[in-house]
Structure formats: structure tokens, C-alpha cells
Amino acid sequence: MTIAEKQEELLDELGLFQDWTERYEYIIGLGRKLPEMAKDLQTPDSLIKGCQSQVWLNASCQNAKMNFLADSDSVITKGMIALFVRVLDGESPADVIQADLSFIDRTGLKEHLAPTRANALNLMAAEMKKRAVECS
């Protein structure tokens, strides 16, 4: 499945919910499904700078595929990073770098978050692309 197909699948899933309370619960649930990040990986170097909450991102490249591991001290923020992990994990560094991540705008999430949390979505996307550049 391509990145664009994963994005469309995610948008379709979010579209099933009638109100934002249900969508938030779904996004929080995605965050809870992320694999646990060991505390020793939650270092200052793995923090995404500028986020209101603490968000840790580790990236590695194995067999020409990106592997992302993420965590946050906030359940909604962990769900937000889980959206990106879901569409970018397992993709090649080149595909991550070239990915159009504007799908996040189509979720409507930015309009329902405080400005600082909405900005965190841009920071997360940029950091994941930066990590892909480092792996390529």
C-alpha cells in the first residue's frame, strides 16, 4: 500500500465518526496502539523541539525502509504522532521525503486543536522527513 493509499484509508476511517469527540477517541486509540518506547530512548536528542507536550521520535533505517518509534506524555499528542507513524513507517527514506503530508489538513484536526497543538502537527511531519533525509 502506498503512502497516499494509507492516507486515504485513514481519512475514510476518521470520516466514519459523526462528531469530534468520537474522532479524538479514535486518534487517542491509535496512540495507545503504538509500540511502547523504552525510557532509555526518550532522550533530549529524540525530542521534537517546539511541541507543547513532550514528543519523542526515534527513526532507523533497516533494509531500505524507515522504522519510526514515537511516544508522548500527552494522549492526544501521542495519537497525533501515531497518524504520521501509521502512514510513514515501513516506507523508503525517499518516499518519506517526497510524501505529501497535507492529508493531515483534510482530517480537520488543526481546526479543532489549540494553535500550539496544531503547529505540532507541522513539526512532527518536518521532523519525520528530516530523519528520512538522515537515513538516505
pLDDT score for 26: 95
pTM: 0.92
> Mapping DSSP to helix (H, G, I), strand (E, B) and coil, where does residue 65 land?
strand
Q: What is the pLDDT of residues 4-34, one digit of tens each?
A: 999 999 999 999 998 888 999 999 999 999 9
In whole angstroms, how far apart are CA 53 and each of 47, 48, 127, 135? 10, 9, 15, 26
Q: What is the pLDDT of residues 44-67, one digit of tens each?
A: 999 999 888 899 999 999 999 999
pLDDT score for 99: 96
Q: Confidence class of residue 110 from pLDDT cuts 50, 70 and 90? A: confident
Q: How many residues does the chain have?
A: 136
Which range is least confidently modeled, 26-35, 54-63, 79-88, 108-117?
Answer: 108-117
Q: Confidence class of residue 116 from pLDDT cuts 50, 70 and 90? A: confident
CATH pick for 3-135 out of 3.40.50.2300, 3.90.1010.10, 3.40.50.980, 3.40.50.300? 3.90.1010.10
Confirm if 88 and 1 have CB atoms less than 8 A apart.
Answer: no
- Please give the DSSP secondary-structure letter assigned to residue 36: P
Estimate the crossing angle of helix 3-15 against helix 20-32, to 10 degrees.
130
Q: What is the mean pLDDT of residues 93-100?
A: 96
pLDDT score for 105: 87
Residues marked active site are found at 51
Position 134 pLDDT exceeds 90 = yes
Phi and psi at 132, nearest 5°, equal: -65, -40
Q: Confidence class of residue 89 from pLDDT cuts 50, 70 and 90? A: very high
- Which residue is it, cell 501521542? 78
Domain ranges for the chain = 3-135
Chain centre distance of CA 94: 17
